[in-house]
Structure formats: structure tokens, C-alpha cells
Amino acid sequence: MILRIDHVAIAVRDYEKAYNFFTKLFGALPGSYSVDQNMKYRWQLFAMGDLSRFEILNPTGTGSFLDNFLTDRDGGMHHITMQTADIKKAVNILKKNGIPYFGHHEYGKIWKEVFIHPRDAFGVLIQIAEFNPSDWLPHSLVMEGDKKIQVKRSKSGCSLTFSHPGGGKVTMNISREEARELAETLIKEE
């Protein structure tokens, strides 16, 4: 049902302070961003390293759904987002196992979600969502077009960059010896 944990969401009172903390101190790269006028909040995704992601949530006015969460604190972990390949199958599994859920929304092909309340998930709000992870990342972290691999020579060997199914890309540096072994394995006839 679950492909992977996509990101952890952190709710904060002071968006600018949190933004600067994560980008300047840790080098987080900002990704997709939006403001929801109806629910009175903004969200901002960030990427760190090859595959780590988190989201900042921040109320934009009185009456935000985050108000109660931030009543006695300046911030904290709000929810965990888990990616599924098929939201309808995920919902059916929840139903079949008697797990209550809420907030089932489908925003066209780009995002489909459902939530499990913390009382039913060991104190953690869980968001299960169907989406293409690369749609939400900074362009610099995504392979161009439909490329799955990129090879670059270096003095000591080469770097191999792979498109990751969880969105983004991963780079590995290998020595000349490892590159030779890889090439020989690939062209060797069985």
C-alpha cells in the first residue's frame, strides 16, 4: 500500500525564521510553495541532500486549521506524508481493516490524499497521498526529460546519476576500476 515516506511536515508560527533556519543553516532547497486562502495557511516543500524532504506549514491568518496545533508552541511535527501508488486501493485497505480516515480529496491527477487521525495512528497524523514526487521538487534536483541515468567522466573514474522513483536523483562516484567492472559486466555475453 505504501511506497515510501515522502516527507515530514513541520508547523511553525514564524515562517521567515523557519525558512532561514533550514535554508541558511542546513542548506535546504525550496521546492513547491502555495497559499490556501480558504484554510488560511501556506506550505513550502524543501529538499535536503539527494532524497530527504520536509514541509513547513504556517498559518496566514486567524482561523487557520493550524491555530489549535500552535496554541502552546512555536512549532512542531504536524504530520508524516506517505506515498501510495493508488489512493483508491489504499482507502480500500483502510476500510477493510477498520481504520478510520478523513479528508479524502482528489485534486485531478496531481494530488490525491486521505488522512488518519493521530488517535488512530499512535499519536501521529498520517497523510497518505498519490502523486508524482518529481512534480514538487526544485528543478535542479530532477533529471531532465525521461532520462534515467547520466554518466560523467572524472579524473578518478566517473559519476553516475540515477533518476530515483521517489523523485529527484541520486549520484554515486565510482573509481575507474569499478567503472571497468561495470562496463565488462554489461557487455559480457552469457
For residue 84, give the CATH number of its domain.
3.10.180.10
Cα separation, 36 vs 89, in Å, equals 28
Neighbours of 11 (CB within 10 A): 24
d(CA 164, CA 157): 22
Q: What is the pLDDT of residue 100?
A: 98
Do 182 and 108 have their domain in common?
Answer: no
Which residues, in sequence order, are CB contacts of 68 under 8 Å at separation 6+?
Answer: none
Identify the pLDDT of residue 17.
97
User: How many domains would you assign to the chain?
Assistant: 2
Query: Digits of tens for pLDDT over the chain (190 positions)?
Result: 899 999 999 999 999 999 999 999 999 999 999 999 999 999 999 998 778 899 999 999 999 999 999 999 999 999 999 999 999 999 999 999 999 999 999 999 999 999 999 999 999 999 999 999 888 888 888 888 888 999 999 999 999 999 988 888 889 999 999 999 999 999 987 6
Residues 38 and 123 in one domain: yes
CA dihedral 94, 59, 134, 121 (to 10 degrees): -20
Q: What are phi and psi of 83, to 5 degrees?
A: -90, 140
Q: Identify the pLDDT of residue 134.
A: 86
Domain that holds residue 151: 143-187
How far is Cα 142 from Cα 42, in angstroms, rounded to an integer? 24
Same domain for 94 and 148, yes or no, is: no
Is residue 3 within 8 A of residue 83, CB to CB? The reply is yes
167 and 73 both lie in a single domain: no
pLDDT of residue 190: 66
CA-to-CA distance for 6 and 8, rounded, in angstroms?
7
Q: Which three cell numbers stand for residue 119?
A: 488517535
Residues 36 and 90 in one domain: yes
The verdict on 35 and 128 lying in the same domain is: yes
Nearest to 78 by CA among 12, 7, 123, 11: 11
Question: Do residue 153 and residue 129 come from a single domain?
Answer: no
Residue 37 backbone class (left: φ over 0; alpha: ψ -120 to 50; beta: rest): alpha
Residues 152 and 119 in one domain: no
Residues 50 and 76 in one domain: yes
Q: Are residue 148 and residue 122 in the same domain, yes or no?
A: no
